Homo-oligomer: A and B are copies of this chain.
Amino acid sequence: MAEAGEPMTMSIRRGDLRKREHTRASVEALAERYRTWGEWGPDDEVGAANRVTPEKVLAATREVRRGEVFSLAVPLDRAGPQSAGSLRANPQHVMLVLPTDPWPGEGDLQRFSDDAVYMPLQAATQWDGLCHAFYAGHTYNGRDTSSVTAGHGAKYNSITNLRDRAVGRGVLLDVARWSGHEHLPPDASIQADDLARCAADQGVEVGEGDFVLVRTGELARIRDAGEGWGRYAGGPAPGLGVGAAEFLCDRRVSGIATDTWGMEAIPYETPDLIAPLHAILLVHAGIYIGEIWDLEALADDCADDGTYSFLLAAQPLTITGAVGSPINPLAIK
């Protein structure tokens, strides 16, 4: 466990963080092992967030000791993090009314302002809904590709199912700091054993219904470079290896989030699949995936006080049919 206030020496290199070889077969074996379809009934659309029971929520509120609140969202604006030409444009904020506009029928005494936004729902800090990924024609609980349509969006497994379920116990696993890096190298692939040892060294347990936040330092690296977001979204990135599924699924977590754009180690460990962990976690295990979370201030605080668990409130917007949602997750310690 890190001593509170004691900066971890950079020369220490804990963790393996090497990529493993995986194939379609090994991924499908994990998917099969951890599939929860039917566990909460044939019509369930909530998935692993079913594990967030009132008892878990109540207990999570008792993690709060100081009342300190950390916003884990990056700014939503034209500056990033998406790169030019992406299907996911950066959020476009526009004004509908300005206080310099005369108000119809009124004099100059009173004025108002109003605004609007066009934004892809997964452009910045976000949750992927379960139906963000499909494998072999299906997503969570066996829904097929007709469950998401242009006209109605996600008829099943929309992120709105998390509307009252994304609050519970959060646990930060600061893999960058634990392994002695300011930020993980781009080819780092975090394995189940890395997560287990990081948790143990941090003195925190990960349990059923938890939301696990894994810090790679990648977001800080980009920000500190001061040259814009560049290839942050869409490019190579450190992240979780396929095997990390064992840690997350064995402990029966509800969600996993990182400070990278794609959560997984990219390029992927699978030559014949893309986003293999998405296939295992979203499609089969029903575990939610958060991306582009800003974990920096929270991580500094956890390193300071040695406490890596907290109350997390990361509720999505209630956009009917939404696959994903922009969020402003709060960690409350």
Interface residues of A (CB under 8 A from B): 24, 53-62, 64-71, 73-80, 83-103, 106, 108-122, 125, 131-137, 139, 145-154, 160, 163-165, 167, 228, 273-275, 279, 311, 313, 315-324, 326-328, 330, 332
In the bound complex, do residue B328 and residue A316 qualify as a contact, i.e. CB atoms below 8 Å apart?
A: yes
A320 to B94, CA, bound (A): 11
The reply to whether A93 and B135 form a contact with Cβ atoms under 8 Å apart is no
Give Cα A83 to B98, complex, Å: 21
Q: Are A318 and B90 in contact (CB under 8 A)?
A: no
Q: How many copies does the complex hold?
A: 4
CB distance B61 to A324 under 8 Å? no
Interface pair A132/B119, CB less than 8 Å apart: no
Since A117-B319, A315-B330 are in contact, a sample of 4 more A-B pairs with Cβ atoms closer than 8 Å, ordered by chain A residue number, is A57-B69, A61-B67, A93-B320, A96-B151
10 tightest A-B CB contacts, nearest first? A58-B67, A54-B67, A57-B67, A84-B84, A77-B320, A99-B145, A313-B313, A98-B150, A111-B134, A100-B100
CB distance from A32 to the nearest CB of B (A): 15
Report B-chain residues with C-beta under 8 Å of the C-beta of A145.
98-100, 111
Is B115 a contact of A118 with CB atoms below 8 Å? Answer: no
* Contact assessment for A110 and B95 in the assembled complex, using a CB-CB cutoff below 8 Å: no
B321 touches A109 (CB 8 A): no
Query: Is B85 a contact partner of A113 (Cβ separation < 8 A)?
Result: no
Contact A113 B323 (CB under 8 A): yes
A-B contact pairs, 21 of them (CB 8 A): A24-B109, A58-B66, A60-B67, A61-B332, A71-B315, A77-B319, A80-B85, A84-B90, A95-B98, A95-B148, A95-B323, A98-B148, A98-B150, A99-B147, A114-B324, A115-B153, A150-B150, A167-B330, A167-B332, A313-B330, A315-B330
Chain B residue nearest to A73 (CB atoms) is B318
Partner of A64, one of B61, B80, B86, B153: B61
Which residues of B lie under 8 Å from residue A327 when comparing CB positions? 317
Contact B153 A322, beta carbon cutoff 8 Å = no
Point out which of A71, A122, A154 has the most chain B C-beta atoms below 10 A from its C-beta.
A71
State A64–B60 Cα separation when bound (angstroms).
10
Partner among B53, B96, B318 whose Cβ is within 8 Å of the Cβ of A87: B96
Report the minimal beta-carbon distance from A68 to chain B, rounded to whole angstroms: 5
**A93 and B163 contacting across the interface, CB-CB below 8 Å:** no
**Residue from A59, A79, A323, A330 with most neighbouring chain B CB atoms (10 Å):** A323
Contact A151 B118 (CB under 8 A): no
